[in-house]
Chains A and B, each alone.
Chain A
Amino acid sequence: MMRALVLALAMVFATPSLAVQPDEVLDDPALEARARTLSADVRCLVCQNQSIDDSNAELARDLRLLVRERLQEGDSDQEVLDYLVARFGPFVLLEPPKTDSTLVLWYGPAVLLGIGALAVVVVFVRRRRTAPPAPLSDEERRRLDALLSDDALLSDDVRLNGDAQRGDTGDGRPA
């Protein structure tokens, strides 16, 4: 019982392991919080799909320290990001900036969705607009009756159109 309780408590209070080392953490909790938020948006260029806040690569650690250093020197959040972009390029940001070359990235999916919606609307409108098919002529009606009746198997008319029989289930009803 006691053991189960301890285990349960351990699970409740367990935190995910962090790449940020204790010696990196700033004394000022407000600055540290800003550093953590910023770090989550900065790409680790070694692992490329992790933020520097998540990565334990050497370069990620260096950049975490750099972010904290800039903040301590009084940089705004944007200034810190600009500092990094000036050295590593916009790729260092996990969220790509909205520039001419990333427009497709940002708005492409919405545009494609719009085109899809438009296509659906067009198809439905067209379907509604097309007139219902003309009723069967007397000749067509006569052939249909012949096909649907059991006698059809004997009818010359149908036998000539052998292909039409292929789908027949044999009891006179079309398959």
Chain B
Amino acid sequence: MGRLFALVPLAAAVGLLAALAWPLFEGRNPQELPSVLLDKPVPAFDLPALGAGEPGLTSTDLKGKPVLLNVFASWCAPCRAEIPRLQGLAAEGVTIYGLAYKDDPEATRRFLDALGNPYARIGVDRDGRTGIEFGVYGVPETYVIDGDGMIRHRHVGEVTDRVADATLVPLLKELAK
């Protein structure tokens, strides 16, 4: 009994080490923060359009059917990389709205002319205040918003094939039911 009791500190140390090491092997990115707005309505906003004669983007536009809201900027490399993937989604019938975060509208225009434009509508968030309302802390970020205008998911970072196929598309399909 005494012998076994002596093993308790060792067992406790191993247990603690395992608990601390677990997140490392789980593949969780500590930079990714959960959104506090999850399952809450999108914050109200009314953003101007990129150019004259084009529609801007308001929070009411996000209601009606499940959509993606993609926060992007021309100065962000992963945003550049994910455009083809977003275009693929748009071609499959997914409605994607764009939030041009802290970007010069002319730079945004050049960015879209060069790479293609997957967005049904774009709102220009020049000073990043709408981004702050969403809790955006970096670009790109992609939000899945259901037909009632509730935020159902936030993806931080580039939309890769894996993210789109494993998370975004299935969630959109489920919300569309």
Q: Name A residues whose Cβ lies closer than 8 Å to a Cβ of B.
A: 45-46, 48, 58-59, 62-63, 66, 85-89, 91
User: DSSP majority for the A interface?
Assistant: helix
B133 at the interface (CB under 8 A from A): yes
B36 at the interface (CB under 8 A from A): yes
**Residue picked from A46, A59, A63, A66, most chain B C-beta under 10 Å:** A59
- A45-B137, A66-B132, A87-B36 given. 12 additional CB < 8 A pairs? A45-B138, A46-B138, A58-B128, A62-B127, A62-B132, A85-B36, A86-B36, A87-B37, A87-B134, A88-B135, A88-B137, A89-B36
Chain A residue at minimum C-beta to C-beta distance from B137: A45
Contact of A89 with B102 at beta-carbon distance under 8 Å, contacts A45-B33, A62-B128 already known: no
Q: Name B residues whose Cβ lies closer than 8 Å to a Cβ of A.
A: 31, 33-37, 102, 127-128, 132-135, 137-138
Chain B residue at minimum C-beta to C-beta distance from A115: B12
Chain B positions within 8 Å of A91 at CB level: 33
Shortest C-beta distance, A68 to chain B (Å), equals 14
Shortest C-beta distance, A101 to chain B (Å), equals 12
- C-alpha gap A2/B36 in the complex (Å): 60
Chain A positions within 8 Å of B31 at CB level: 48
